[in-house]
Structure 1
Amino acid sequence: MHTPVISHAASNWNSHQLAHILTHCFEGYLVPFNIDGDTFATRFSAEDISLNDSKVWLQDGEPKALAAIVRRGQTSRLAAFAIRPELRGQGYGKRFIQQLIDEAQARGDRQMWLEVIVGNDSALALYKRMGFVCQQTLVGFHATGSTLFRPTGELLEIDPLLMAKKMMTDSRLRLPWLSAPETLYKLPGKAYVLDDVAYAMVVPNAQQPKLRMLYVDTATRGKGYAKKLLTLLHERFPGLSTAGSIPEQVAPLYLSCGYRQDPVTQYEMLLKF
């Protein structure tokens, strides 16, 4: 007889403990995963984690699974979900996801998002059985050794909040959660503007700086500003890469600027209640 697996609110643990639990539960995952407490706190606070709605499942007092739930308004997202290897393939994934769905509906959420790595066939099949539908493919890029042309122009640093407010005025803009303006301005990054029409958000790192967003005013799109800005960023931040949250349809822009697409891609999925 199996010992019961009982869920508890993640608010019972601090960021360092949750980071350890998440890394522990991702053991043997398709893509190696490791996160420390400071990174956990920075990343998930920017994504608006709800520790009361996030869950840690215990069996005999030992953490066996973790779900990080982030929320904005009546929309929630499964930002991370991991189960220990010894519990996989026994129906626990379906049980845990159903609990998260039931709780989201009970608090009045209208929809739930998640991302799943392409190639994680068991997880993809589970999410589809639970009613999630693929919306788009998300990809990432990294800069190669040289740019393909030499643009001119000056990048001016601005407050990331100003960039986020600019993006929020674009009513047609629908970005993945990781690239949304509500996420960006809370990250420890730097925002830049080119010619008052093209914006970028970079999280500096000596080893691998991350480009989190590229945005061009609607009135000036199609005039080469995105390509110019992307190339200038490439020159200023050697080794620049993006988060793996770029909609696949804009891949030609990055490829034309000397970036290479990363092998790991994700499906963005949505469940409407």
Structure 2
Amino acid sequence: MHSEVISNAAAHWNSYQLADILSHCFEGYLVPFTIDGETFAMRFAAEDMSLNDSRIWTQNGEPKALAIISRRGQTSRLAAFAIRPELRGQGFGRQFMQQLIDEARARGDRSMWLEVIVGNDSGLALYERMGFVRQQTLVGFNAVSAALFTQTGELQEIDPLVMANKMMTDANLRLPWLSAPETLYKLPGKAFVLNDVAYAMVATAPQGFRVRMLYVDPAARGQGLAKKLLTLLRERFSGLYTATAIPEPIAPVFLSSGYRQDPITQYEMLLKL
């Protein structure tokens, strides 16, 4: 007979402990995943993690599952969800998800988002049973050729907050959580503008330089500026890549600018509360 599994607020653990728990719970996952304490703190702070709403489930005092909840206004996101192998296949996933959904409704959230890797069939099936609906496919890219380390006067560095504010004024813009302007300006990195109308955010990480998002003023679209911007960035930063957070319809501009699509893709999913 198994002992009781107890729910706890993640606020009882620090970033280094949470990083260890998350890595531990992802053991045997479809895509290997580990994270250190400093990266955990930087990443999830930018994503607006709520420690009081995030959960650690323990059994006999040992962490067995973790859910990271991010919140903005009346919208929440399941930023990470992992269960130890010994608890999998016993209905705990559904139990824990129902708790998270009930708590989101109780605090007045209107919607909950998440991403799931394509190929994680058990995870996808769970989320669909809970009422989540696929919204779009997210992809990632790697620069094909090595950087030439060239710098021209065409790219002007700006404060990332300037780019974020510009994007926030576009009423028609709806981006995934990881690529949203509210996330971008909090990350360590650089923002650039081309011709005062085309913007890019390049984040720095232990793995290298990562393009987080592009934005072109609506009136300047269709002039090849996004392609030129991506090409200039590829020539300036060695080993440039993106997170798996780029909406699939944007893929052609990356593919035509010297980037190769990563085989890992994700579904972005939404539950209306």
Compute the TM-score of the two structures, normalised by the length of structure 1: 0.97
Is 1:231 paired with 2:231?
A: yes
- Spell out, residue by residue over 1:61-98, the C-alpha distance to the aligned partner (whole angstroms, 9 max, x if none): 00000000000000000000000000001000000000
Structure 2 residue aligned with 1:159: 159
Separation in 2 of the partners of 1:206 and 1:145?
Answer: 20
- Could you say what the CA RMSD is over the residues aligned between the two structures, in angstroms? 1.5
What is the rounded CA distance, in whole Å, between the counterparts of 2:245 and 2:203 in structure 1?
15
Kept after mapping to 1: 8 A contact 2:146/2:239: no
Give 1:59-208 correspondences, 5 Å limit: 59-145=59-145, 154-205=154-205, 208=208
Determine helix, strand or coil for the equivalent of 1:63.
strand
* Cα distance in 2 between the residues matched to 1:238 and 1:199: 19
Partner Cα separation in structure 1 for residue 169 and residue 86 of structure 2: 48
CA displacement at 1:208 relative to structure 2: 2.1
SS in 1 for 2:145: coil
Identity of aligned residues (%): 76
Q: Could you say if the C-alpha distance between residues 153 and 223 of structure 1 is closer, same or farther in structure 2, counting changes exceeding 3 Å?
A: farther
1:38 corresponds to 2:38: yes
- 1:258: Cα distance to partner? 1.1
Give the secondary structure class of the aligned counterpart of 1:222.
coil
Specify the code of the residue in structure 1 equivalent to 2:131.
G
1:50 equivalent in structure 2: 50
Paired with 1:254 and 1:11, the residues of 2 have a C-alpha distance of 39
Count the aligned residue pairs.
271
Q: Write the deviation string for residues 154-202 of structure 1: whole angstroms up to 9, x where unpaired.
A: 1111000000000000000000000000000000111000110000000
Q: Please tell me whether the aligned partners of residues 146 and 258 of structure 1 are also in contact (alpha carbons under 8 angstroms).
A: no
The one-letter amino acid paired with 1:222 is: G
Preserved CA contact (<8 Å) 2:69 2:77:
yes
Change (3 A) 1:93 1:207: closer
| Moved beyond 3 Å, runs of 4+ | none
Structure 1 counterpart of 2:75, one-letter code: T
Residue identity opposite 1:31 in structure 2: V
SS state at 1:235 partner? helix
Q: Which secondary structure does the structure 2 equivalent of 1:28 belong to? A: coil
**Aligned CA distance change for structure 1 residues 207 and 245 (closer, same or farther; 3 Å):** closer
Cα shift readout 1:4-28 (whole Å, capped 9, x = no counterpart): 1001000000000000000000000
Which segment drifts farther, 14-23 or 203-212? 203-212
**Rounded Cα–Cα distance in structure 1 between residues aligned with 2:238 and 2:35:** 24
